[in-house]
Structures are given as C-alpha cells and as structure tokens.
Chains A and B, each alone.
Chain A
Amino acid sequence: MHLAYPVVLSALLFCTGLYGVLARRNAILVLMSVELMLNAVNLNLVAFDVWLSRAAEETLHSGQALALFTIAIAAAEIGIGLAIVLAVHRNRGTADIDKLRDTAEGHDPDGTGDSVSDSDADAPTTRAAVTKTEATA
C-alpha cells in the first residue's frame, strides 16, 4: 500500500477536526472535534510505524506505543473536559463557549455588562448569582 493513502486521510481528518474546533459553539461538540484530531494523529503514527517496522527492520514499535499512549491520554482528556463542561453548565446554565466571556476584554456579546446579564431573569443564571453571593457571604 502506498504510504500516501493513510497519510492523506490523516491530514484530511485533522483539518476536519480543526474546522470543528474553530466553528462549533457547543463545548461538547468541540470535544468531539478534538477527538477527531487526536485520531488523525493516531492514524499517522500507526501508518508510519507499519512502514518503518518493515522498511527499516525497526523493532521498537514506537509508533504503536505512542498511539496507545495517545488513546489513553485522550480518554483522560475527555473525562476531565466533560467534568469541566458539566461544572460550567451547572454554574452558568450554558455549555456554549461563546458565552463564557468573563476574561475577555472589550466587547460584550450582548452589548451589556456582565453584572447586568447576570441579573437577567434566566433561571440558571440567577442560580449562579445566588451561588456567587453565598460564596462571598
């Protein structure tokens, strides 16, 4: 098999994941796109490992070992990421990364300040405000 096939597929999958990370708004969809990018890297690692283990008589199998490590790290990453997303959703009532603009300078998405949008009638946001006031009290 030509090495070009898996490598080109890997590049295309990586760019698909890149588009998803940049264009998606929901945090869980961003995590899915990150998974796609990690899988593209895995395909690259496995393809080069198979090539080198035949062509260069390489017995270390570093590509496959690194692919296994990447899979394990991706599993850890998805666990931590989902825990963070769930914590944010519990405190803010939203999982949209466009609306998490507390540390952004300059423009606000709603045209109003953060304190004003916190006192809106939205139920989870008032929950967050109540939590904040009780944490300071």
Chain B
Amino acid sequence: MIEIFLNEWKGFYRNRLMAVVALLFVASLALVTWLGVVQNQKQIESQLKAHRHIRAQWDELETMNPHKAAHFGSYAFKPNTILNSLDEGVNAVTGKVLRLEGHTQHDLVYSEASQSLLVSKFGKLMPSLLFQFVIPLFLIFLAFNTYAKERDSGRLKLLLIQGTSLQKILFSKILSIWIIGVLCLIISILTQVVFNGNAFHADFPLRMILMISSYSLYYLIITTLTVLLSAIFSSASVSLSTTIAIWVLWTIFLPKIVGNAVEKLSPLPTRVEFQKAMDEDRSKGIDGHNPSGERKKELEKEILAKYKVDSLSQLPINFDGIVMQADEEYGNMVWDKHFGKLYQQMQSQKRNYQFSGIINPFASLQNLSMGAAGTDMFHHLDFLKQAEEYRRVFIKTLNDKMAYGGSKTGDWDWKADSEFFKSVKDFEYKPISIKTIFPKYLTDILVLVLWAVVMLTLVNYTSKRISIL
C-alpha cells in the first residue's frame, strides 16, 4: 500500500502544473490565514478600544443619581474569539454592540453586514471558506480521475496482475489524496499559531483538535465518495459531474434549504409579536416609574411593615430604589420567559439542522467548525446570557445604592459619588469552555464518523464486487 501511496505523491510532485497549483494554493492558504488573523486582530483591538472608551466615560462620572446612571447605562461589545480568524461563523451577521440599561433589555445591534453593500454571498475569503469550499473541490479534482485513469488506460490490469488488490489500490489512492487536504489544514493552523500564538488560551488545543478532526473526517468523506464514484461510473467525466453535483447540493443548496425548513418547523415570532407578548407580561408587573400602580402599593405595605413605620418618609431607606429593583426583577422574569423560549426555539432549530447531517455531512462540518472556532450560535447566546447577567448585577448595584446608599424616598436629586461608580464592576466576557459546548456537537461528530465509516465500507464492498474490465 505504501508503494501505491508514494507513487501517487510522486505523480503529484512531478506534474509541473499540479505542483505550481499546489504551491500557489498553499501560499494563498497561508496568506489568507494571515489576513484572517490581521482582520481579527484589528477587530479585537477596536472592540477593546471601544470597551475601554465606554468604561472610561463611566469611571469619569462625577456625581449622579444611581437611577439616572442606570439609564446612562453601559455597552457590551461582543468580543471576537481568537479562532474567529479561522471561521467567522455568525459574527458577520450578528450585531456587535449591546446596550446595558435599567428597565430594558436591548438587542445586539450594528452588524457588519448592515454597514455596507453586499459583497460576498459565501462570506469572506477566510480559511473556513477555503476549508469548506475550495479544498473539497480541489480534492474532488485530484480524486475523480485517480481510479478511472488506471482503468481506462488498462494499467489497472497490470497493477492487479502484480499481485496487489483493488482494495489496496483504492484505499492507497484515497489516503494519498486525503493527506493533501489534511496537510492544507495543518499549514493553515501552523500559520495561525505563528501569527496568533501568544493570544491562545488553554482551550485552544482542544478546539484545534476538534476543528482538525472535523475537517479531516469531511475530507475523508469527500475523497472516498469521489474515488468511489470514479470506480462505479464507467466514464471519468460522468463521475466528475456527479461528484460536483453532490458538492453543489451539499455545500450550496442543502444548507440553505434545510436552514429554511428548520425555521419553518420551529418558527420564531416576528419582532412585533414578540414585543407585544413581552409588553403584555410586563404590564402585569411593577412599573418602577408609576407611583400609583397596585402592585407598587402592595410592596410599599410590605416594606413599611418590615421597617415598622407608617409612611415612606419615615423609612430609613429610599423606597424608590426598592421599587426600581422590584420592577427590574419582574422584567428579568419576563425576559427569562420570553427570551428563554426564543432561545429554545433557536436551539431546537439548531438541533434539527444538526440532523440534516445524515443527508449532508457538510452541515455537520459547518456546525463543528463554528463550534470549535467559538463563533456559533451557542457561543453567541452565551455572550448574550453573560451580558444580561452582568446587566442585572450592574443595575442591582445601582438600585441598591439608590435604596440603601443614604437617600430618602422621593429624593431624586440625591447623587452617588464618583468612587461608587468606579467601584461598579466592569463587564468581562469569559469565553465558554469547549468542554461545555462539546456535548452539543456529539450528533455532528457521530454523523461525520458514520459517514466516513459508511463511505469506507462502501469502497471496501465495491472493491470486491466491481468488474475491472
């Protein structure tokens, strides 16, 4: 087998056109990876700059009423992961800026995609684009003829009569082509390490292993499929056109169709419907700014009883702060209910999409690639969750200051000092660990492994059944 493998490589190496193309390709891959790193670093810098700028404004607050400060609010900027430079995932279409304010949970806004004309329908020329679109196609072109040329030239008989088996020939050819894909991956990853090495966190090796394994499995599937079709079809051009048709179906067509279908299976509400439902539930709670609300009166009674006083003016604390926090907590409950449902719907869509891997291994690859790069929906939702958790702590700190900081009820002119504002903790996003995310991708991993096993079994079966004449 090793002889056939080495001979294939000798063939690639000695084909001048192929060698030039391969060299150019490897150079472009390294260049693209480097550009991806540059782009990512620029974005990370600008996110950090924006974050520091916004925080500095907060730290510069002299004196201010805490509730006014809650409306002054803050912003969370969605940070790019280091591996965003390999696969941008959802980051190009999701917003980057989240306003953190009292009473209201805002949306992530200002996506890159909304800031210019449409450029590429398939995304930026980042390593993921090459990994997912170009390398498989490259492997197809290397593999479609590898068996057919042996058969059509009659050399296959010569090889077999030398005592080697069809099985060995097919597997050696698959291996020799597959390794090229894997080498491309490794080159890109090495470039990534060289230019980005100092920024990697502890999760990096595991994420890289997941990414390399996923792509390697997919390349194995695509190479095996191509060689298999090349062995089954009597004409190389028919096998090529069939493989390309499958590539188009897998890479371009099915992800979109299945994406739409899963959205229809678990539909999301329109923004109007969603807001209406939220408003309805919200209206049942306390309105922090409405002194005559019934629920507010109940809370007032409760607090007066607790402090054993008869009127708000006798309270040693500021009841307005208590109301604001009660309002906040009710709002949080409503948010948890509605956004929880929304996120569940999104996750259910994702689960259904993952099952499409059974007919389209590319879907599993895409999922795993984004998951490993930390640019998938789970990481996105995790950011939103962490930002919301921070918002709650942030607003509670301000409301508590309002309530227990020394002011009295109705004293809206009371101001907290700058030291207090400086002491409010800043938002820091802690990237979710790959170990946490891993179980969510078991389906995709299993699907890819299953595809690879089925493909290899089919090649094995075909090698025993196929007529070589």
The finding on whether chains A and B are genuine partners in a shared complex, rather than unrelated, reads: no
